[in-house]
């Protein structure tokens, strides 16, 4: 038996960008993440010192210039403002062999950070703002997820489909309610991430016997939604979980 379900996603560019870097191994991802965290701390400190000294806001801090020089990407390098978040927050996350960069507060877009992440050895994907308004071409990107797995048995596969279908039904019921948008509805994988707003999910779900396939999957916060979904599937006994990313860009 084959069953297919579809749910659209109401994207409104509310977050500036999420950057995904896929490395060959988890160890490479962790090493890159630590390098990025060190850079983020140095950038924050440099900008804070400039503000305290009432120095003019420079487009690039010295740590950014040094990183660009060391990686040979000084040409076309621009400011990376994704590190300008409250002290104690971490804009860099890892999941298996993936590094996520949270650029939700960015005004300059993902272009320079994507170049950096690529030079660190990853294949990159962007969701959100790539080039900001005022650049030659304002550009947005959408990254979707394809995931497939094997359920423990057909009954488990049917139960997973039913839970996702129920989530989409409840989401649609709330979609038009003022101040009660559908991302506030708990997903089936809610227990693996505290904030339901991070887990808003859409895509196409199909089942053929014990095989489950998600295509065109999107999350409100990819770096939180995807790990939560994978944890949910594993808790259900699913195996052979594989996922990949696809990016499309367009001007606004």
Predicted pLDDT of residue 159: 96
96 and 111 belong to one structural domain: yes
Q: How far apart (Å, rounded) are the C-alpha atoms in residues 220 and 106? A: 16
Predicted pLDDT of residue 86: 60
- Identify whether the C-beta of residue 16 lies closer than 8 Å to the C-beta of residue 104: yes
Residue where a domain stops, chosen among 109, 136, 163? 136
Residue 252 has pLDDT above 70, yes or no: no
106 and 57 belong to one structural domain: yes
The proportion of the chain whose per-residue pLDDT surpasses 90, expressed as a percent, equals: 46
Higher pLDDT, 40 or 232: 232
- Identify whether the C-beta of residue 46 lies closer than 8 Å to the C-beta of residue 69: no
155 and 228 belong to one structural domain: yes
103 and 156 belong to one structural domain: no
Residue where a domain stops, chosen among 136, 163, 191? 136
24 and 45 belong to one structural domain: yes
**Mapped to the 3 state alphabet, what secondary structure does the chain carry?**
CEEEEEECCCCCCCCCEEEEEECCCHHHHHHHHHHHHHHHHHHHHHHHHHHHCCCCCCCCCHHHHHHHHHHCCCCCCCCCCCCCCCCCCCCEEEECCEEEEECCCCCCCCHHHHHHHHHCCCEEEEEEEEECECECCCEEEEEEEEEEEECCCHHHHHHHHHHHHHHHHHHHHHCCCCCCCHHHCCCCCHHHCCCHHHCCEEEEEEEECCEEEEEEEEECCHHHHHHHHHHHHHHCCCEEEEEEEEEEEEEC
- Identify whether the C-beta of residue 93 lies closer than 8 Å to the C-beta of residue 84: no
Predicted pLDDT of residue 10: 46
pLDDT band at 129 (very low <50, low <70, confident <90, very high): confident
Higher pLDDT, 73 or 218: 218
The proportion of the chain whose per-residue pLDDT surpasses 70, expressed as a percent, equals: 80
246 is in which domain, residue-wise? 2-14+143-251
Residue 135 has pLDDT above 70, yes or no: no
**Mean pLDDT calculated for residue range 191-197:** 77
Provide the number of structural domains found in the chain. 2
38 and 80 belong to one structural domain: yes
53 and 153 belong to one structural domain: no
Q: Which of 7-16, 46-55, 57-66, 126-135 comes out lowest in average pLDDT?
A: 7-16
Predicted pLDDT of residue 49: 77
120 and 153 belong to one structural domain: no
Neighbouring residues of 12: CB distance < 8 A, sequence distance ≥ 6:
none
Predicted pLDDT of residue 81: 81
Predicted pLDDT of residue 79: 72
CA-to-CA dists, residue 152 to 73, 101, 155, angstroms: 47, 33, 8
Predicted pLDDT of residue 175: 59
pLDDT band at 182 (very low <50, low <70, confident <90, very high): very low
Predicted pLDDT of residue 58: 59
- Per residue in 77-119, pLDDT tens? 667 888 776 655 788 999 999 999 999 888 888 888 998 899 9
128 and 147 belong to one structural domain: no
Predicted pLDDT of residue 111: 87
Predicted pLDDT of residue 2: 47
- Identify whether the C-beta of residue 126 lies closer than 8 Å to the C-beta of residue 193: no
167 and 223 belong to one structural domain: yes
156 and 122 belong to one structural domain: no
Predicted pLDDT of residue 133: 65
pLDDT band at 176 (very low <50, low <70, confident <90, very high): low
132 and 23 belong to one structural domain: yes
**Mean pLDDT calculated for residue range 194-220:** 88
Predicted pLDDT of residue 66: 73
Predicted pLDDT of residue 90: 85
The CATH number linked to 164 is: 3.30.70
- Identify whether the C-beta of residue 183 lies closer than 8 Å to the C-beta of residue 190: no
Residue where a domain stops, chosen among 103, 136, 169? 136
């Amino acid at each position: 038996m084959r069953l297919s379900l579809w749910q659209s996603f109401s994207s409104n560019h509310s977050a500036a960008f999420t950057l995904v870097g896929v490395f060959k191994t988890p160890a490479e991802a962790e090493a890159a993440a630590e390098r990025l965290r060190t850079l983020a701390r140095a950038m924050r400190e440099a900008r804070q010192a400039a503000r305290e000294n009432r120095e003019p806001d420079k487009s690039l801090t010295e740590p950014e210039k040094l990183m660009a020089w060391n990686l040979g990407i000084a040409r076309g390098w621009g400011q990376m403002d994704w590190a300008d978040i409250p002290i104690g927050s971490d804009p860099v996350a890892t999941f298996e062999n993936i590094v996520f960069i949270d650029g939700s507060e960015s005004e300059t877009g993902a272009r320079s950070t994507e170049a950096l992440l690529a030079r660190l050895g990853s294949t990159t994907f962007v969701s959100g703002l790539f080039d900001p308004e005022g650049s030659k071409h304002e550009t947005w990107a959408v990254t979707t997820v394809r995931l497939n797995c094997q359920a423990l048995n057909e009954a488990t596969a049917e139960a997973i489909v039913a839970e996702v279908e129920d989530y989409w039904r409840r989401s649609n019921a709330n979609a038009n309610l003022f101040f009660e948008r559908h991302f506030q509805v708990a997903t089936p994988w809610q227990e693996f991430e505290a904030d339901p707003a991070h887990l808003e999910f859409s895509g196409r779900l199909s089942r053929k016997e014990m095989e489950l396939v998600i295509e065109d999957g999107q999350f409100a916060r990819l770096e939180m939604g995807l790990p939560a979904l994978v944890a949910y599937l594993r808790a259900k006994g699913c195996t052979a979980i594989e996922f990949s990313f696809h990016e499309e860009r367009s001007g606004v």
